[in-house]
Structure 1
Amino acid sequence: MSDQLQDALEAAFTEARRRYAERGFQRRVGFGSRPALINVDLANAWTRPGNPFTCENIDDQIIPGVQKLLSAFRRNRLPVVHVTTCYQVADRNDPYTDMGLWHCKIPVEAVPEDRPDLWAIDSRIEPIPGEQVLVKKRASAFHGTYLAGFLRAAGVDTILVTGVTASACVRETICDGLADGFRTIAVRECIGDRIPGAVLWNLFDIDAKFGDVESVDTCVDYLDGLRTAAAA
């Protein structure tokens, strides 16, 4: 994204934040006592070059940020869920496709189930034993999946969400997470998109209405602080 576009967006958001604050928006949902990490669509079709879903800032920003979060979750023995997307019936002419009507808008047939190399989680943040790998069919990681039940059974009250895209699957997951009763935290440096400006706009709007946008460092400090509090 160009500096000119970023400066224009930031100027617009400064005024928008003022207006929202006057109306009582931008409240804080805050961190709870039992977090889980939800990595959304950080699979090869989104993180590697050459696919319709390939996103920006993966190598230099998103993967390093997620690696830092994963380390914190793992050393504190907290739950991690890796979410990906694929389809058993990727034929757009088949009336019984599990793509639903989404293929009428975007090329979801690009991630068929028989191409696990595409929908496998990026090896740089590869799941380890004990971490969930969840396959979804729609934008939200909650829609039609066992995610909410798994989190509740694990005693989770807070979800830290990373991944792609800010304008679709990440946003929908955060909205549904809040609706299902979880404190929702969007990890700023760990969220990406394909379109310049989409991340800034969506993080601004999420922070105003659906969750708290926090930095990786703030989230890591929170995770390590839980261990310190438990020891005390």
Structure 2
Amino acid sequence: MFGLGTIINTLSVIIGSIFGLFFKKGLRESVQDILMKASGIAILFIGISGVLSYMLIIENGTIGTRGTMLLIFSMTFGSLTGELLNIEEKIERFGLWLRDFFRARGDSSFIDGFVNTSLIICIGAMAIVGAIEDGVHHDISTLTAKAILDFVIVLVNASIYGKGVLCSAIPIFFYQGSITVLAAAAGSFVSDTLITQLSFVGAALIFCIGINTAFGKIFKVGNMLPALFFPIFTFLLGHFFPAAANFFS
């Protein structure tokens, strides 16, 4: 079934959130605080491992790096674009609308729960690769594995932030679903190189989310989201100017 992976993943987020809301009632504030910091550290290392798995290469017993210019240009110009568009504010406004819609005005952590969780589960290698595999090959194995991981993440986050986490099921459904549809339309044009580079930049954004979760909000990750589009730009550029592809590889 087309898009089944995203449906499974969305259901896992909803069910995990419900379990987390149930556990929230019995957690002290100190327990919620340590859970948030611990999950932040875990997210940090997920991001670090994703970046290093692409950047570090071993040739003839020598460790080298690649993708440095791609990372610099993606993060710099992507963040600049997002800042000019003020994407994070628009995401927060949507969170405010959801809070009002669900009549949770008194819930001070609603928006943080919605924004932080949405970014964690939407940005990353498994979301991008899994959605593309679903669209091109109808292979849902990656998204099924991601559904299990997201279940744990939203359970913990819902126990910390509350109802806002449940609403993160909305963006993940449309985000992954859109990638699946676009991948199905693009077909064989979606190369392994492009998928890998998208995952690489996504891992860098996950690192920033981990910093925010563990140490308080430092990065406006929402405004950094356009960085994900830069690998697509360099991929298309490489078709017309091969030297450019080598520069960003």
Which TM-score tier does this pair reach, normalised by the shorter chain? Answer: under 0.3
Question: Which has the larger share of strand?
Answer: 1
Question: Which has the larger share of helix?
Answer: 2
Q: Relative contact order: is structure 1 or structure 2 higher (C-alpha 8 Å, sep ≥ 6)?
A: 2
Give the alignment's TM-score, normalised by structure 2: 0.26
